[in-house]
Amino acid sequence: PYQVLEKFKETKNHSCFIVNEYGTLEGMITLNDILEAIVGDVPQTGQDEYEIVERPDGSFLVDAQIPFYDFLSHFEKTEWMNEGEHEFDTLAGFVLHELKHIPGTGERFDWNGFDFEIIDMDGQRIDKLLVKISEEIKEEMEEG
């Protein structure tokens, strides 16, 4: 794979055909194929799928890396994105912005009818949140 990667770098190509010793076409290889062979699976653009899972008790288990806009969109609150300047893109970034420190597992805070609890950390990175929503937000979602 390294020789092919070097050829890709030299020629600035991102794909090539593979032929055998008889000149018969065997297939095609791309730069992405080479990178996956070296470092493992490389996610495609737009392949990130972050989950918001509703639990039986009505709370939500949320991947902290979900874009903040997508999080608000799930709860039909995208208009809140327009409130002020944001220095974050993800829900985890929002949590750090609100708390102003790296939280620990079990730490909670309330914001605009949402109750956030950090339930999983991956080192210094917020991984999962438990989110409870107010009755008012539930009613607005049911109406919408």
Where are the chain's structural domains?
2-39, 52-143
Q: How far apart are CA 44 and CA 101, in angstroms?
A: 32
Query: Is the pTM above the cut of 0.85?
Result: no
Q: May I ask the CATH architecture of the domain 2-39?
A: Alpha-Beta Complex (3.90)
Residue range 14-67, pLDDT digits in tens? 888 888 888 899 889 888 888 777 777 655 555 457 889 999 999 999 999 999
Q: CA 19 → CA 16, 22, 31, 35, 92, distances in Å?
A: 10, 8, 17, 20, 48
Residue range 79-127, pLDDT digits in tens? 777 665 667 889 999 999 999 999 999 999 999 999 999 999 999 999 9
**CATH fold of the domain at 52-143:** 3.30.465
